[in-house]
Amino acid sequence: MSAQYHIKNFLIFVQSIFFFFSLCGVVQGEMLNNNRWQDVETKYTIIRYQSLEDLEKFDNNIDYYPGEWGLNRLFSSKDFTEKMDNLIKKVDALNLKVQQILDMRKRMKKVSINIYHNKKQLYAAYYKIYGSSCRVRAWYIYEYNTIYINADDVNEGLLAHEMAHHTIDNYLSVRPPRNAAEILAVYVDKHLFDEVKKY
């Protein structure tokens, strides 16, 4: 067989692999309303969003600034790069605080945070995954290592609660029963709320 035959087969093989992975990308990208998911990677998370408006809403609703509480709240930056940097610091600090409250500190795989535009989009995602109607504001799925949340209805307590589920499920060698994990996640939310009230 000639070298041209092998090269031709190799090129067909490469094209088919490229086609396959591009299809996977569309599925993974989970296109909604013609908006493709975009990522912001932090030290501990991957924040996935569909529009800058959703990302900004998410940022504005997460009111957590450890160590610099008053300054960050009073002097929020208008510069996009600075805003993004502040968001990254805020989300990572919240993740570390969750691990501290639970006393469950170890290196874990980065958790994805899928930010949906509104409740309708979030509920559609829930239905697509579970095949039933949604009765919760947000949730975490261990198998996907993903938090599902909507930009209109999020705050630092709700995000910390879902981060707690991620921490609990990935820290312990055996995942606890759902009710036990829920008690710990509620404890994190309450403890964080009590801390925020001090400021």
Distances (CA, A) of 190 to 112, 163, 177: 23, 14, 20
Q: Which of 2-6, 17-21, 39-43, 92-96 has the lowest mean pLDDT?
A: 17-21
pLDDT tens-place string over residues 29-86: 344 455 699 999 999 999 999 999 999 999 999 988 765 544 444 445 567 788 899 9
∠ CA 63-38-113, rounded to 5°? 45
Domain-by-domain residue ranges, the chain?
Answer: 1-30, 31-197
Amino acid letter, residue 144:
Y
In DSSP terms, which residues pair with 149 in a beta bridge? 115
Amino acid letter, residue 118:
N
pTM of the full structure:
0.77
Pick the CATH number of 31-197 from 3.40.30, 3.30.2390, 1.20.272, 2.60.40: 3.40.30
